[in-house]
Structure 1
Amino acid sequence: MKNNKIIAVWGNPDSGKTTFSIKMANELIKKNKSVILVMADSYVPAIHTVLPFTETKDQSLGALLSSIQISQESILKKCIPVPNTKNLSILSYLHGENIRTYADYGKERVLDFFILLKHLADHIIVDCSSQFHHDLLSRGALELSDQVIRLISPDLKAISFYDASLPLLGEKKYNVANHIKVLSDVKSEMPKDSVGNRFGGIQKELDHCEELQRQMLEARLFEPLTDKKSEGYNTQLQNLMDALFFSEEVYENKEKNPLKKNLRKIGFFKKEVMHK
């Protein structure tokens, strides 16, 4: 398995970004890998929707990013351990916080943050905000990550979202052509073929799963899917994990990839400092 990967999960609203990020993290810790899950959305802080009874002790991602300086130690202090799991923790904005709760931070801070994170866990998963153009952390993750998984709902609203949003990722540094496109929450009656053709093909699919829906509503996403009817989803998830972490196919064009480490740093600093 490749080590020290940053995986950005991005998609249209309600495409299942947080749900998928958690399930991917669960699969990685099964392999005895350490994972830090970064929930980047400051518009809808996710921690209390997935761990509503967990004490956060002022462990806010926003406070970390807006602090005078950050270090590996300060990051670890803000990490929220997931109960009953091993080697999995979360960085998130907290319940009631918003984009005005903390001072703005610059692109240098985002770069420092991701560099430090890579030394703290085997894998970093970034649950990005759909509205990345208003969120510097999500935008940085889309540029600096080793791989972007783009979740797409198989409906017309997703097409409308991407027609409006993808032009904002037109610069070469975002390497949109290298995104792994995944149709998410697919039901039999949905026009998945039409939507897939609209996006130039889809690499993977994740079917609708009733047990997954129940887990989300009951804040139990860190539990395994055990219903027999969930076997299809589990198989699809494992196939995607194999492609991301076990297959060389994703990285076969690495030398031509503008997300290579040095080029990432240069491209990230060439743009003017942006705010959340």
Structure 2
Amino acid sequence: MSKIIAVWGGKHSGKTTFAVNLACALSKRNKLVGLISSNLTYGELQTFLGQEVPQEKGLFAALYTENPNVGEKFTDYAESKNLFFLSVPTRYSGLLDDNVTLEEVEQLINSASLAFDLLVVDGAVEVNNPLSSVGLWLADTIFTLHRPSIAAQMWQIGVADFVRELHLAEKQSHILLAPNGEFDDKAYRSLTELPFVCELPYLKRAGELENAGTPLYFFKDRLCRRYAKVLEQIAAKICGGEKQ
């Protein structure tokens, strides 16, 4: 079973949507799940999960407070007793992200991996983000999201040296988001020549639901159920069995 799972992708690839909903799916399998955002300036997870992170909790408290139980700095997700998330606090002052070091992040992720059964790290587009790069390096499995476009292909080319230097390719599973009509998925497959393990449906209402703080996994319209079904299949492979 994978212990640390990283989610990665280019801009507008749907990676944070996938990371949040995968964490929800895993938490429903009787697993204690920690979800970490690598966004150092804005609390994205607060939007997706519809909750605030108080000043005394959150990413910077976990990084800079000498507390052996890093799990206490995660925020409980109200809709699932097994899901906890770590994001920058909803309100904070100072450029705290300038002080984040690779060593601090490595210690944080290793400590969090002991506190939870499964740890999901939502990576960043930028390869110089310390939380994202360390999360990718420590991950057992990396799910890389692709929304077919020329920009997505250029991002894939741009990170090729980074992938090679950190030996990430052997840990990557590529996931294709069904196109919304703006770009042909067959053309993208041909351009990238990547093996895609599965395809996620295009959800027109995704932005609306996310702004309302409603994970797609818990919304029961037809397309969201299709999206959730793919997540269930992935969660089953991660956990090595059927849903408990």
When normalised by structure 2's length, the TM-score is 0.87
Counterpart of 2:115?
A: 120
Q: How many aligned positions are there?
A: 240
Counterpart of 1:28?
A: 26
Matched, 1:95 2:93: no
After TM superposition, list the pairs within 5 Å mapping 1:252-267 onto structure 2.
none
Matched, 1:63 2:67: no
Alpha-carbon distance between aligned partners in 1 of 2:97 and 2:226, rounded to the nearest angstrom: 43
The sequence identity of aligned pairs, in percent, is: 22
Counterpart of 2:81?
A: 86
When normalised by structure 1's length, the TM-score is 0.77
How has the CA–CA distance of structure 1 residues 177 and 65 changed in structure 2, closer, same or farther, with 3 Å as cutoff?
same
Unaligned runs of 5+ in 1: 248-276
Alpha-carbon distance between aligned partners in 1 of 2:223 and 2:101, rounded to the nearest angstrom: 46
Shift in Å, 1:104? 1.9
Unaligned runs of 5+ in 2: none
How has the CA–CA distance of structure 1 residues 53 and 150 changed in structure 2, closer, same or farther, with 3 Å as cutoff?
closer
Counterpart of 2:238?
A: 244
Alpha-carbon distance between aligned partners in 2 of 1:120 and 1:222, rounded to the nearest angstrom: 26
Alpha-carbon distance between aligned partners in 1 of 2:235 and 2:197, rounded to the nearest angstrom: 13
Alpha-carbon distance between aligned partners in 2 of 1:232 and 1:51, rounded to the nearest angstrom: 20
SS at match of 2:206: helix
Question: Residue 104 of structure 1 is aligned with which of 84, 95, 99?
Answer: 99
Alpha-carbon distance between aligned partners in 2 of 1:195 and 1:242, rounded to the nearest angstrom: 28
Shift in Å, 1:102? 5.0
Counterpart of 2:14?
A: 16
Matched, 1:156 2:150: yes
Is the 8 Å Cα contact of residues 42 and 97 (structure 1) preserved in structure 2? no
Question: Residue 202 of structure 1 is aligned with which of 196, 199, 204?
Answer: 196
Shift in Å, 1:31? 1.0
Alpha-carbon distance between aligned partners in 2 of 1:170 and 1:113, rounded to the nearest angstrom: 25
SS at match of 2:196: coil
Alpha-carbon distance between aligned partners in 1 of 2:167 and 2:220, rounded to the nearest angstrom: 37
SS at match of 1:186: coil
Is the 8 Å Cα contact of residues 8 and 15 (structure 2) preserved in structure 1? yes
Query: Which one-letter code corresponds to 1:193 in the other structure?
Result: K
Is the 8 Å Cα contact of residues 54 and 91 (structure 2) preserved in structure 1? no
